[in-house]
Structure 1
Amino acid sequence: MEKKIIGIDLGGTSIKFAILTQAGEIQHKWSIATTILDEGSHIVPDMIASIKHQMELLGLSAENFLGIGMGSPGVVDRQEGTVVGAYNLNWKTKQAVKKQIESAIGIPFFIDNDANVAALGEQWVGAGGNHPDVVFVTLGTGVGGGVIADGHLIHGIAGGAGELGHIVVDFDQPIACTCGKKGCLETVASATGIVNLTRRYAESYAGDAALKALIDDGQEVTAKVVFDHAKEGDELGMIVYKNFSRYLGTACANIANILNPSTIVIGGGVSAAGDFLLEGLQEVFNTHAFPQIAKSTQLALADLGNDAGVIGAASLVLK
């Protein structure tokens, strides 16, 4: 019988697990809450207990598995299998994740950064179509990413490659980013960034758009609310949408001009705007990408949703 793989997607709120085939097909999945108390000291023991419990329920042993792969926030040392600086997990000191899991479960363990792992998932069985050259951009609370070239994740000399959210794109009214710089893509293209743009353009907007009325009334405005209004032709919503498209489309064109991937996959919560989001991006992308690159690099929406992390994590075992 072909050996299976366990994929783990470690997040600040929940830990997702899946048992997959070597072709990337999910056969069984589950999740547990992430307990970050006591400096995150419960996280790895909780994962070990959960995996052992599921293996027992399913009548499986270590011999049935090729390996375990995991995506984690923070700075990951892939060789040592350690994580440090994952502050949303309360992991301030170095965590020996690989050592703990391998000694407790007896299955080979592999780990990488969570954004890189999600990129691998989309590249392998998602919108990347298993092509060796794919870039993944995830638009959530922040902007993350992963770069796969010639079938390999690009990590860089210090493990910081693929920090696409920190490409500087806003030279108009640059906003301070959490990284300490100003004008990063994250400040204008994340869910938070779209709200930043809405407040910026609402200040100088003098019309009677419904979105402007919401802001003036002090109501909560989210990226979804902004895009929903833009889809309906709301004037302020369209101003925000066009500028969001300008910033993200320019960043995508610059990424493509350097790497010429087959696909730039757009994922994360903001990508729920769907084809409407892609239409604005494509127009700007076509304007700024080198002509041959504009023809050969596709923009696409992510396919895998919340499963990208566990699927990509499983692919670490095969790579």
Structure 2
Amino acid sequence: MKKYGFGVDIGGTTCKIGLFDMSGTILEKWEIKTNTENHGAAILDDVAAAVLGKMEEKGIVKDDVQGIGLGVPGPVDSEGTVHKCVNLGWDVINVEKALNEKTGLFVKAGNDANVAALGEMWQGGGKGHQNVIMVTLGTGVGGGIIVDGKIIAGSHGAGGELGHIHMNDDETEACGCGNKGCLEQYASATGIVRMAKKQLAKETRNTKLKAFEPLTAKDIFDVAKEGDEVALELVNGLCTMLGTALANVAAVADPEIFVIGGGVSRAGDILIQGIQNKFKEKAFHACRATGISLATLGNDAGMYGCVRLLF
């Protein structure tokens, strides 16, 4: 009998939902709006309606469904309890229990960055490996650590918060977390733009970057690829920070491969090559050959990882 699974990746604006078979093939995917009104009270009702509606449409009975995997933008403990989810308006809620009661299906939940890492390990840039660290470079810097095929969430659900590794004692501006000098302040999309603006304010050399308003991370990488000296220095700064941080992480977790995802990863080779060079300079000798590759599942990584949670 064919078994199905649902992967539900809950984001601040939309919930991405995928219907999978349990070999990891996505059969259909769609999105619904994340209703954050009234402290996100309706979110799980909407998810339940979407899943049950799809089962009815496809003639799938409950016995044929392995369950629903849920990715949530906040810490999730081993019991399935979410401890504050600011983007969704949730306080403390056991999402596994709540969604199970609404659907009658088995539910397993995890942090969104962790499940994205699981997805990339299963069917993406980390396929074929059991020890994978995913780094997501977007508005912030997120991560997920997988050892022997299992997510390492840690005792507070904060395992994989790579963006908040401390990198710079001299930083005067605060990170979103309240600390100063976090990796996220230099290696995220907002981080490299912040560094660029600081540089351009005092820059006397000619650079194409001065023409962009507003300036984006993509602009910086595009101009660097054209050989612009200032842009290349900025990209080098980001790669130095990331390569150093990953060398430190490798000395703790020793992964087979680092998988780099998120919007900034679209820069491609210039980014991967830059990180690799710095990583090799800084890494402990036994870790130097660790692979660094691009994520391949894009925005679908979370849905894949959610289904992998059901195993």
User: What TM-score do you get using the length of structure 2 for normalisation?
Assistant: 0.96
1:270-281 equivalent positions in 2, closer than 5 A? 270-281=264-275
> What is the alpha-carbon root mean square deviation over aligned residues?
1.3
Q: Is the 8 A contact 1:74 1:84 kept in 2?
A: yes
Distance 2:131 2:77 in 1: 24
1:66 shift after superposition: 1.0
Distance 1:280 1:212 in 2: 23
Aligned to 1:311: 304
Aligned to 2:43: 43
Q: Is the 8 A contact 2:72 2:110 kept in 1?
A: yes
Instruction: Report whether the alignment pairs 1:206 with 2:204.
Output: yes
Aligned to 1:237: 231
Q: Is the 8 A contact 1:8 1:15 kept in 2?
A: yes
Distance 1:195 1:175 in 2: 14
Distance 2:194 2:5 in 1: 41
1:232 shift after superposition: 0.9
Q: Is the 8 A contact 2:183 2:241 kept in 1?
A: yes
Aligned to 1:157: 155
3-state secondary structure, aligned to 2:146: strand
Specify which of 256, 264, 276 is matched with residue 258 of structure 2.
264
Name the count of aligned residue pairs.
Answer: 311
Report the identity percentage.
45
Distance 2:103 2:176 in 1: 38
Aligned to 1:170: 168
Spell out structure 1 runs of 4+ moving beyond 3 A: 171-175
Q: Is the 8 A contact 2:145 2:160 kept in 1?
A: yes
Distance 1:135 1:267 in 2: 11
3-state secondary structure, aligned to 1:141: coil
Q: Which amino acid aligns with 2:279?
A: F
Aligned to 1:20: 20
1:258-313 CA-partner distances (Å, limit 9, x unpaired): 22211000000100101111111111111111223112x10000011111000000
Instruction: Report whether the alignment pairs 1:82 with 2:81.
Output: yes
3-state secondary structure, aligned to 1:137: strand
Aligned to 1:300: 293
Distance 1:173 1:258 in 2: 25
Distance 2:188 2:197 in 1: 14
- Structure 2 unmatched ranges of 5 or more: none
Q: Is the 8 A contact 2:7 2:304 kept in 1?
A: yes
Distance 1:4 1:273 in 2: 35
Instruction: Report whether the alignment pairs 1:68 with 2:68.
Output: yes
1:80-109 CA-partner distances (Å, limit 9, x unpaired): x22231111111x22232222212221111
Q: Is the 8 A contact 1:266 1:299 kept in 2?
A: yes
- Structure 1 unmatched ranges of 5 or more: none
Q: Is the 8 A contact 2:117 2:133 kept in 1?
A: yes
Q: Which amino acid aligns with 2:93?
A: Q
Distance 2:111 2:126 in 1: 19
1:109-148 equivalent positions in 2, closer than 5 A? 109-148=107-146
Q: Which amino acid aligns with 2:66?
A: L
1:222-271 CA-partner distances (Å, limit 9, x unpaired): 11111111111112211111111111111111111222211000000100
